[in-house]
Amino acid sequence: MLKNRATAEATAAYARRFSKLDGNYRPMLGMSVSSIGIGTYLGEHDDQTDAEYQAALRVALLGGINLVDTAVNYRFQRSERCIGKVLKELVGSGELRREEIVVATKGGYITFDGELPPNAREWFNEAYVKPGIIEPGELVEGSHCMTPRYLDRMLAMSLENLGLESTDIYYLHNPETQLAAFSRDEFRARVRRAFELLEAKAAEGKIGVYGAATWNGFRVAPRDPSYLSIAELVAVASEVGGADHHFRVLQMPHNLAMPEAFTVINQALPTGEGTPLAAASAINLAVCASASLLQGRLAKGLPPVVTEAMAGLATDGQRAAQFVRSTPGVNVALVGMKTVGHVREMLELAGHPPASRNALMKLFKPAPQE
């Protein structure tokens, strides 16, 4: 197991090695973190995809990307295992230090073990129910659980897969899923129990910080059944962990087709109301933006206005990612990259400074005059 976590000193040294990547590194959680992170969600659960991811990870980590995002259920644990193998190789060879790389993973969804079993129900009973990891009634929508007992097991599984003593960021994975089955009061109680577990794991040194990785929760209207209040989650963390709680980071979708994190006023701020990104910034939460290319759908065919606004870039994939990494309040734009070619495309983008606010605003229509 690789010891330690990412540190301010080591990530700053990493950033200095890539001085030609103009504007690529930002302060985040007290560290120097690349503005583009490598995501590991998509792909088949097979050996060929494993090999592709491992090659992509090597090029990314040695080329200037020092944040890796995954989850225990991504490709049935195979993505975590690919990351673990590459980190072990690169740290073992002396090409990287563990402390230079920010590793983020998630727990909440049920995962198989490397492949789809012949009988999923039977496998689930043997793997989760009989050992007492999940009790009857704890599973929501047939796939989601966030009890302390379950999260404890998933974190241990993730650390084993990654070959790490500790992960830098641990997310509750789409906690809004629980709202499909439980009242707001019960949801808050479940969040509180999950946060108690995660604060304990931070105290044990198993995680650095924790947060919530969402799909709908932060970007929908407050009346939506899946809505999440950032201020309320921080309040629960404060109740559990006090002023020095470890709830420090959010993940939410943000891209050219889903800009709500930047445009929708749906969150309470200390001085009124604002967007999810504004709310996160106001209370000093880091933000990793997911789905920057919307699973590849924004990598081609973008309208000319995007080419004009994101000037000087060679591909629509770069333009789409540039929009995300240039949005105020976004620390990291997560881009799924399972090929070396895609990594090189994003590393080329990392050599460009972020777009100006004026360039960004060319993509939005002005508000109508009263």
Q: Alpha helix (H) ranges present in 97-182? A: 120-124, 148-162
Q: Per-residue pLDDT averaged across 59-71, rounded?
A: 98
Cα angle 25-27-32, degrees, rounded to a multiple of 5: 55
Q: At what angle do helices 340-350 and 47-63 cross, to 10 degrees?
A: 20
Among residues 112, 125, 47, the alpha carbon closest in space to that of 82 is found at: 47
State which fold the 8-355 domain adopts.
TIM Barrel (3.20.20)
Residue 100, pLDDT > 90, answer yes
Residues contacting residue 351 through CB under 8 Å, at least 6 positions apart: 20, 21, 22, 24
User: What is the arithmetic mean of pLDDT over 112-122?
Assistant: 94
Q: What pLDDT score was predicted for residue 370?
A: 52
Q: Residue 60's pLDDT is what?
A: 98
From the number of C-beta atoms within 10 Å of its C-beta (0-12, 13-18, 19+), residue 286 rates as buried
Beta carbons of 293 and 342 less than 8 angstroms apart: no
- Is pLDDT of 102 > 80? yes
- Which tokens hold the place of 16? 């200095």
Q: What is the pLDDT of residues 259-292, one digit of tens each?
A: 999 999 999 998 899 999 999 999 999 999 999 9
Going by C-beta distance under 8 Å and a sequence separation of 6 or more, which residues neighbour residue 19? none
Q: Residue 365: which pLDDT band, with cuts at 50, 70 and 90? A: confident
Task: For tokens 């105290």, name the residue.
Answer: 203
Q: What confidence score (pLDDT) does residue 140 get?
A: 95
Q: What own/partner pairs with CB < 8 Å and gap ≥ 24 does 200-203 have?
A: 201/152, 201/155, 201/170, 202/246
3-class SS at 152?
helix
Name every residue whose Cβ is closer than 8 Å to that of residue 231 and which is 6 or more positions away in sequence: 267, 268, 269, 279, 283
In tens, the pLDDT along 66-89 reads 999 999 999 999 999 999 999 999
Q: Coil, strand, or helix at residue 286? A: strand
Closest CA to 257 of 188, 316, 175, 178: 316
17-54: pLDDT as tens digits? 999 997 899 999 999 999 999 999 999 999 999 999 99
Picking from 152, 122, 125, the residue whose alpha carbon sits closest to that of residue 139 is 125
